């Protein structure tokens, strides 16, 4: 079967090697033959072959460095190159995680500052940098809420309210923490339906409400005008409020979630704070909390262990919060992401951070204003950093959001997020970010307008798209049915 690029296992020759290794400079020890494996079925390719293989693969990808990537809820902003340089400095890249604290004062200082800056940006008392991704930050947050209630003798509080517009990670997190989800409907404004919320919080379940998870601005890109009421209703029932910080790019220096009375939130350093998405990861999902929850943070967190010495530098060290939910990953978090976020905040500083949000919101509203002329805009009001369109036309029934998305590839754009949030039919969730220039936004609008025109005149152009991408649409059913997950030669199996 021919593909775009041969598999690594299909190139090379027996005995070939892609790296130049030294001879041993010590006497050779006797190898324990009976414990050794007979075969190591890895590829045998030369160095240049490996380089070309992966360079060719890279060229099959779309990326931010290549073009406009308006993927809603993912905040695909420019990933500054200087941060990549910083991450590769030997003092960071070659620093062992179990080094004595005295030998890691640079790293600890950086983490301490980042904890404080993130706390300042969101109005929270304390921050832990340990979670490896947004979903892990959510998990930490919900475990904290759970343990908070347990400590107060209210272990029966095990229901977390989740709006039906939520990211899938929210309900999955609740289940993972051993708690129960109760889904809340949205009203016609896309906000949480207050009557349903009141019914849940003031009815017979009142004493079982542990809290609520909500994204602000909502996954529709809208700031809920009733957010205060939502928070009050849940607090009155004895629940705590979790804010999904995925959309923090719409809030920086605009409002502090802590001041709105949220109890806990996670940040996505790989969205808001520019650390690269890496084709799926790594992320970093720091969590911030108020006074109620700070003793429950996942650890370790960085603190000042001894005050300033004569040279003016305090001694930083690790502390496990008193009632910590525990360690959520080995070592102390995705430090490589912490240092990039640190450099990013340092560049914008006190006067610049608000501009990130201001221009992200400007770009989104500009696209919204232009595209609402051609596409149906279900919530016609100012949006935050992203907005939802309906990706279908009443007069061309066969064309769906998916077809518009695939056709955008032919115009050189990455498609928006589609079919999310679930509460909008044929959703196209568009998030331009602040780093895009007006010319590119205009080109995107033109492409969307052409596609709307094509939908009416030549719908097959959409239905069969993409035409110019490296591959056409894929047979996803076949992938599940055949389930080919590995191309390595099989090893002789034992005991099975």
Partner 1 sequence: MSYIPHTPFETEQMLAEIGVGSIDDLFDAVPAAYRFPRLELPPPMSEMEVASAMLAISEANDHAGDYAIFRGAGAYHHFIPSVVNHILLRGEFYTAYTPYQPEVSQGTLQATYEYQSMMCALTGMDAANASHYDGATSLAEAVTVALEITRHKRRKIILSHAIHPQYREVVRTYHQGRDIRIIGDRGRGDVIDLVEMLDENTAMLAIQYPNFFGQIDNIAALADAVHEVGALLVIVANPMALSLFRSPGELGADIVVGEGQPMGVPLSYGGPYLGYFAIRQKYVRKIAGRIIGETLDADGKRAFVMTLRPREQDIKRERATSNICTNQGLMALSASVYMALMGKNGLRRVGELNYHKAHYAADRINQLGGYAVDASKTFFNEFVVSCPRPVAEINQALLLQGIIGGYDLGQNYFHLEDHMLVCVTETNSKDEIDRLVEVLGGLS
Contact between 89 and partner 1 (CB under 8 A)? Answer: yes
**Least spacing, CB of residue 392 vs partner 1, in Å:** 18
Our finding on whether 375 is near partner 1 (CB under 8 A) is no
Q: Taking contact as CB under 8 A, which single stretch among the options 84-92, 233-241, 287-295, 454-462 is the one that binds partner 1? A: 84-92
Task: Enumerate the β-bridge partners of residue 304.
Answer: 316
If one asks whether residue 62 binds partner 1 (CB under 8 A), the answer comes out as yes
If one asks whether residue 380 binds partner 1 (CB under 8 A), the answer comes out as no
Nearer to partner 1 by Cβ, of 394 and 482: the residue is 482
Region for 20 from its dihedrals, namely left if φ exceeds 0, alpha if ψ lies in -120 to 50, beta otherwise: beta
When binding is defined by CB under 8 A, the residue of 115, 128, 165, 169 that contacts partner 1 is: 169
Is there binding between residue 13 and partner 1 (CB under 8 A)?
Answer: no
Is the CB of 97 or the CB of 203 nearer to partner 1?
97
Q: Which of 43/238 has CB closer to partner 1?
A: 43
203 binds partner 1 (CB under 8 A): no
Residue 361 engages partner 1 in binding (rule: CB under 8 A): yes
What order do you get walking across the sheet with 264-267 strand by strand?
A: 126-128, 287-289, 264-267, 240-245, 209-215, 159-163, 180-184
Using the Cα atoms of residue 247, residue 250, residue 255 and residue 256 in order, give the sign of their dihedral: positive
- How far, in Å, CA of 398 to CA of 257, rounded? 42
Residue 272 as a binder of partner 1 (CB under 8 A): the answer is no
Among 204, 309, 330, 397, binds partner 1 (CB under 8 A): 330
Q: Which of residues 129-158 bind partner 1 (CB under 8 A)?
A: 132-136, 138-139, 143, 146-147
Among 19, 153, 204, 457, binds partner 1 (CB under 8 A): 19
Which range in 194-202, 276-284, 388-396, 448-456 contacts partner 1 by CB under 8 A? 276-284
Q: Is residue 100 involved in binding partner 1 (CB under 8 A)? A: yes
Is the CB of 143 or the CB of 430 nearer to partner 1? 143
Q: Which residues lie across from 429 on neighbouring strands?
A: 388, 417
Residue pair 11/42 in contact (Cβ under 8 Å)? The answer is no
User: By CB under 8 A, how many residues form the interface with partner 1?
Assistant: 211
* Tokens describing residue 353: 């951070």
Q: What is the distance between the alpha carbons of residues 90 and 110, in angstroms, rounded to a whole number?
A: 15
User: Taking CB under 8 A as the criterion, which residues in 390-449 touch partner 1?
Assistant: 405-406, 409, 414-415, 420, 434-438
Angle between helices 438-457 and 335-371 (to 10 degrees): 60
Stretch that binds partner 1, among 196-204, 236-244, 302-310, 462-470 (CB under 8 A): 462-470
Rounded Cα–Cα distance for residues 51 and 19 (Å): 12
Cβ nearer to partner 1, comparing 394 with 485: 485
Q: Which stretch binds partner 1 (CB under 8 A): 18-26, 196-204, 232-240, 392-400?
A: 18-26
Q: Which of 222, 297, 302, 389 binds partner 1 (CB under 8 A)?
A: 222
CB-CB neighbours of 26 under 10 Å: 5
Q: Which is nearer to partner 1, 82 or 456 (CB)?
A: 82
CB of 277 to partner 1, least distance (A): 5
- Contact flag: residue 309 with partner 1 (CB under 8 A): no
Q: Does 173 bind partner 1 (CB under 8 A)?
A: yes
Query: Residue 351 interacts with partner 1 (CB under 8 A)?
Result: yes
Can you tell me whether residue 129 is helix, strand or coil?
A: coil
With CB under 8 A as the contact rule, the residue among 115, 128, 247, 365 that binds partner 1 is 365
Compute the Cα dihedral for 202, 204, 209, 214 and give only its sign: negative
Q: Which of 475, 477, 355, 379 is nearest to 430 (CA)?
A: 379
> What phi and psi values does residue 44 have, to the nearest 5 degrees?
-130, 90
Residue from 72, 110, 165, 230 that binds partner 1 (CB under 8 A)?
110
Burial code (b: 16+ CB inside 10 Å, e: under 16) for 149-182 equals beeeeeeebbbbbbbebbbebbbebbeebebebb
**Do 16 and 9 contact (CB within 8 A), yes or no?**
no
Q: Which is nearer to partner 1, 17 or 199 (CB)?
A: 17
Smaller CB separation from partner 1, 37 or 395:
37
**Which value, in Å, is the radius of gyration of the alpha carbons in the chain?**
26
Pick from 128, 165, 272, 274 the residue near partner 1 by CB under 8 A: 274
Min dist CB 457 to partner 1, Å, is 22
One residue of 68, 70, 114, 121 binding partner 1 per CB under 8 A: 121
The single residue among 148, 223, 379, 393 that binds partner 1, judged by CB under 8 A, is: 223
Q: Rounded distance, CA 71 to CA 255, Å? A: 24
Residue 312 as a binder of partner 1 (CB under 8 A): the answer is no
Is residue 430 helix, strand or coil? strand
- Answer yes or no: are the C-beta atoms of 214 and 163 closer than 8 Å: yes
Phi, psi of 310 (to 5 degrees): -60, -30
The reply on whether position 51 binds partner 1 by CB under 8 A is yes
Q: Which of 354, 340, 343 is nearest to 276 (CA)?
A: 340
Give the pairing type, strands 287-289 and 315-319. Answer: unpaired
Quick one: which of 332, 388, 401, 452 contacts partner 1 (CB under 8 A)?
Answer: 332
């Amino acid at each position: 079967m021919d593909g775009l690029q041969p598999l690594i296992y299909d190139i090379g020759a027996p005995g070939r090697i892609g790296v130049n290794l030294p001879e041993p400079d010590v006497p050779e020890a006797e190898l324990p033959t009976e414990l050794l494996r007979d075969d190591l079925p890895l590829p045998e390719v030369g160095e240049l072959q490996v380089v070309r293989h992966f360079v060719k693969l890279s060229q099959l990808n779309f990326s931010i460095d290549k073009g406009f990537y308006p993927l809603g809820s993912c905040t695909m902003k420019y990933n500054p190159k200087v941060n990549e340089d910083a991450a590769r400095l030997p003092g960071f890249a070659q620093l062992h995680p179990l080094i004595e604290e005295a030998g890691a004062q640079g790293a600890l200082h950086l983490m301490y500052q980042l904890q404080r800056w993130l706390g300042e940006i969101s109005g929270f008392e304390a921050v832990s940098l340990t979670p490896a991704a947004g979903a892990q930050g959510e998990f930490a947050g919900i475990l904290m809420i759970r343990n908070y209630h347990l400590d107060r003798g209210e272990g029966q509080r095990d229901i977390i309210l989740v709006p039906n517009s939520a990211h899938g990670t929210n309900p999955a997190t609740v289940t993972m923490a051993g708690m129960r989800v109760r889904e809340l409907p949205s009203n016609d404004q896309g906000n949480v339906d207050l009557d349903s919320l009141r019914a849940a919080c003031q009815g017979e379940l009142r004493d079982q409400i542990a809290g609520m998870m909500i994204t602000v601005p909502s996954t529709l890109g809208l700031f809920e005008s009733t957010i205060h009421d939502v928070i009050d209703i849940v607090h009155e029932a004895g629940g705590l409020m979790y804010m999904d910080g995925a959309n923090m790019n719409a809030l920086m220096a605009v409002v502090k979630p802590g001041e709105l009375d949220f109890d806990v939130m996670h940040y996505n350093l790989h969205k808001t704070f520019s650390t690269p998405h890496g084709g799926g990861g790594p992320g970093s999902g720091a969590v911030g909390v108020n006074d109620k929850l700070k003793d429950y943070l996942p650890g370790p967190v960085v603190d000042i262990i001894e005050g300033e010495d004569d040279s003016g530098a305090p001694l930083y060290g690790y502390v496990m919060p008193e009632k910590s939910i525990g360690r959520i990953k080995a070592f102390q978090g995705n430090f490589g992401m912490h240092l990039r976020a640190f450099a990013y905040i340092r560049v914008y500083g006190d006067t610049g951070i608000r501009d990130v949000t201001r221009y992200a919101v400007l770009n989104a509203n500009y696209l919204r204003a232009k595209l609402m002329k051609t596409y149906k805009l279900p919530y016609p009001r100012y949006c935050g950093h992203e907005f939802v369109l309906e990706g279908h036309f009443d007069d061309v029934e066969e064309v769906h959001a998916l077809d518009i998305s695939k056709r955008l590839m032919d115009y050189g754009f990455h498609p928006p997020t589609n079919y999310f949030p679930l509460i909008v039919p044929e959703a196209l969730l568009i998030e331009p970010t602040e780093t895009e220039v007006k010319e590119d936004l205009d080109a995107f609008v033109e492409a969307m307008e052409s596609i709307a025109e094509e939908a009416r005149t030549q719908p097959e152009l959409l239905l069969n798209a993409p035409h110019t991408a490296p591959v056409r649409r894929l047979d996803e059913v076949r992938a599940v049915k055949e389930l080919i997950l590995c191309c390595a030669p099989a090893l002789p199996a034992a005991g099975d």
